[in-house]
A and B are shown apart, each in its own frame.
Chain A
Amino acid sequence: MGYVVADLDAAVRFYEGLGLGPFKQPNLPGVRTQATQYGRPVTNRKLRNMGTHIGTTRIELEFLQPVENAPIQEEFLKRRGEGANHFGFKVADVDAEAAKLERKGFKAIYTVTFSSGIKCKYLDTDKLGGVLFEFWQPPTVGITSPPPVMPSP
């Protein structure tokens, strides 16, 4: 589950103080090979993000602080302040899962792929309920070596 925050460090300090965490930067092996935002290629999108698993569950809490050219998070923050904006679902095939919703008329508003096989897609499911859906698939290569870069998704 993803939160949008204005100050990542302050949020992490606060929630670690409540016993959650430790929060870590995501390990995203590979380099970004393609990204589109609202249907247009994007190269200069910057976000700071950290996540942790809640207790012993597989549910991850992720904080995202928009830095530059990240309108999905920037507009959410401007419109309604800090809050949770998406559910992320780990799937084997992002395109297949997203296609099920695209056939119902939903649109992909952000997609990104990495050379390691990581792919993620946000869909505009927030019209009712206010929550975006994100599908992401894990890396298929390079997961045993440290990533050459630590990009934001």
Chain B
Amino acid sequence: MTVEPIFSKLNHVGVVVRDMKNAAAYYESLGIGPFVKVDREVLREPDAGGDGLKTMRTTFGSVGLELIQPGSRGSHWRQFLEEKGEGIIHLGFDASNVDEEERRAVGSGLRLLYRRRFKEGGGVSGFDTREFGGIAFELIR
């Protein structure tokens, strides 16, 4: 039996910005957009990893572009902004079952960076692939 690679279908590129609305207007002026606010209600879990971040999304070509405005201090996203400035923070890949694929990713040795699950179902799990290339990988459903 062959096992499907976990990270094979690119869903979106995540870019951390200081001000999501300014960034959306900026990219729209460059011909990428329109951006819409993402509003998926997050389940309150102890390990939710959300920090009150806000996001907007668009699709360019066959891939999504997600603008992330970090929330509270000390989070993965806020830390990236403070240490490196604005820029690409993760690649998001489609998951058919995010819990199952998260288990496979952790089983293969990747450290879980954050996990959010949505009230409507589905969720995201971020993994620490930053040692080589500086970018996290995320699974999303």
Q: With contacts A5-B133, A129-B86 known, is A57 near B9, CB below 8 A?
A: yes
Query: Number of contact residues on A: which range applies?
Result: 20 to 34
A130 in the interface (beta carbon within 8 A) = yes
A110 in the interface (beta carbon within 8 A) = no
Total residue contacts A-B, CB cutoff 8 A: 107
B29 near A3 (CB under 8 angstroms)?
Answer: no
Q: With contacts A11-B132, A83-B133 known, is A130 near B87, CB below 8 A?
A: yes
B62 to chain A: which residues have CB within 8 Å?
57-59
B8 near A129 (CB under 8 angstroms)?
Answer: no
Q: With contacts A20-B5, A128-B22 known, is A83 near B88, CB below 8 A?
A: yes
Q: With contacts A55-B8, A57-B10, A84-B88 known, is A128 near B23, CB below 8 A?
A: yes
A84 to chain B: which residues have CB within 8 Å?
13, 87-88, 133-135
A1 in the interface (beta carbon within 8 A) = yes
Interface of A (DSSP majority class): loop
Partner among A1, A5, A55, A85 whose Cβ is within 8 Å of the Cβ of B132: A5
B26 near A128 (CB under 8 angstroms)?
Answer: yes
B121 in the interface (beta carbon within 8 A) = no
Closest chain B residue to A59, Cβ basis: B10
A81 near B87 (CB under 8 angstroms)?
Answer: no
Interface of B (DSSP majority class): loop
A3 near B135 (CB under 8 angstroms)?
Answer: yes
Q: With contacts A18-B7, A55-B5 known, is A130 near B133, CB below 8 A?
A: no
Binary interface encoding of chain A residues 106-126 relative to chain B, with 1 for a CB under 8 A from any of its CBs, else 0: 000000000000000000010
Tell me the chain B residues, 102-141 only, with Cβ under 8 Å from chain A.
Answer: 108, 110, 129-135, 137
Known A5-B132, A83-B134; further 16 A-B contacts with Cβ < 8 A: A3-B134, A10-B132, A14-B131, A18-B108, A18-B110, A55-B8, A55-B9, A57-B10, A57-B62, A59-B61, A81-B84, A82-B132, A83-B133, A87-B13, A125-B30, A130-B87
